[in-house]
Each structure stands twice: as C-alpha cells, then as structure tokens.
Chain A
Amino acid sequence: MSTSVFGRAAEPIVIDVWSDVVCPFCYLGHAVLEESVAQFPYGVEIRYHSFQLNPGMKVGQSIRADDYLAAQVHLPKEQIEASHAHLTERGARSGLDYRFDNVLMVNTLDAHRMIHLAKAHGQESAMVKRLFRAEFTETLNLADHAVLADLAAELGLDRAEAVTVLETGGYEKDIRADIAQARQLGISGVPFFVFDNRRAVSGAQPIETFRRALDLIRQDRAAQPA
C-alpha cells in the first residue's frame, strides 16, 4: 500500500474481524465495535472473515440452538438459560434484541457465502449485520437457501446471483482461506479482532477496550519512523 503525503497516520486503521453468524457474542461484539468506530474521529476499515463454530454440522440441517447446546456441551438447562439472560441484558444495552427461545443452530457455510458475495458488491458489513439480526432476533433458518437469497435481495444484491452462489458452492476458497488464517493465528474462539495486524482483542469486550485498541494503534503509528 502506498503512503500518502500525510504519512501512515492518515491511512484508515484496518480491523480484521473473525466471526460466525450463529455466535451470539459475535453479534454483540459487532455492535460494540461499530459503536466505538462511530465515536473514533479517524478513518477505520473493518474487514470481516469467516469462522465456523460448528463445521461438523450437516449442511442444510437446522436444530434448536438450546437443544444443540444441551446435547453438545451437556450443560444443565438452567446454566444455558442463565447465560442467555446475561447476554440478552448486555445485548439490550447495545440495542440488540436476542430471542434465544427459537434461535436455530446451523452449519453456516452457506451464510458465509452470502457475506463473501456481499463483500464483492461493497455490502459486507450490511450483510453481516443483517445475518445476525436474522439469526438472533428473527430466528430465521440460515441453512435455507431461499431465506439467504431473500436477505441478499433485501440488501439490493441480485437474488439470482445469490441463488447461483448457493447452488454452486461459491466463495468456498475465500471461506477456507479465512478459516486457515484464523488457524494460523491460533484463533479457536470468536469474535476475534485484529487491529492493524498488530493488536488483538478476543471476545465481545466492553466499548472501552475497543476505544483503547484504536487509541493504541494511533500511538503505535505515531511512534513509527516516517
């Protein structure tokens, strides 16, 4: 990347985010990150990367998330409900409406295809946000091609192109590359944020943490030789 006459400080700070659309903390982390970026007076570029929490699930299958968690993690119902209540309360503070009772767990490979399609049309962030709302508030089935294609169309993308991407397994290489990069970085949990390829934040942390990361990157850049 070329450096402008104003130096690196004038370039947007790049934030690479790994997340999965069935990850409730990713929804929260996405909202809090956006809030911190909106308050930051300098340029920021957010790039989303695919991560799959449940790659072993059969593509196309859907199961109630609570049932999946109970079977997968063997936790008592009360503990799952307490976790949901805590997240619901934190989410509400960021304007999110979690409806865990009917949330579905799916293999998110096809949903990630839609994010990469949207990225190709400059709609990456909008698609990520739309998929989170579909998953956690509208409790739609994100394994359903018709649902995904409708969401793409809703954002102004070509529905026929979305269907083609879904039916032909489009953007598979891009998704695998994102996941491979996550593995290289040692990421086993999401959301995961990397600022300027230098500083990392793991998890849906409070807005103060994201503000501090942005401020530290400004300091890092100021300390670098021109």
Chain B
Amino acid sequence: MQSSTAEPTIDETDDQVSDTPVPAPSPLIFLEPVDDAGVCTTDGWCA
C-alpha cells in the first residue's frame, strides 16, 4: 500500500531528531509514515 508520496527534503524519523533542532531555515522533518496512512495523488489514485 502506498503510504507517502511527498518526500521533498529529509526523510528522518522523529525518534532520530526530536532532541536536535536545526537552525532555521530548515528542511521539513517527516514523521515516519505508517502503513495505514492514506494519500491521494495527482495521478488520480488514493491508497
């Protein structure tokens, strides 16, 4: 199942970075997607 389609910058888990804030401007820090996460994409499908 598709869990995430938007991965513009960093794909870190919150556990890895929660105590180490980076100075602004910073790239987005993704919370780790879960299997059940649902996304609809511009190619027309939702999963």
Contact = CB atoms under 8 A, between A and B. Distances in A.
B7 A186 contact: yes
B5 A188 contact: yes
A173 interface: no
A52 B45 CA distance: 13
Nearest to B30: A200
A201 B31 contact: yes
B6 A189 contact: yes
A75 B3 CA distance: 18
| Residue with the greatest number of chain B CB neighbours at <10 A, chosen from A68, A187, A200 | A200
A23 B40 contact: yes
A72 B6 contact: no
Contact of A220 (B3, B21, B40): B21
Interface of B: 3-9, 14, 18-19, 21, 24, 26, 28-31, 33-34, 36-47
21 contacts: A24-B40, A26-B40, A29-B38, A53-B40, A54-B44, A69-B45, A73-B43, A73-B44, A90-B36, A90-B38, A185-B6, A186-B8, A188-B6, A190-B39, A198-B28, A201-B30, A202-B4, A204-B37, A204-B39, A206-B34, A212-B31
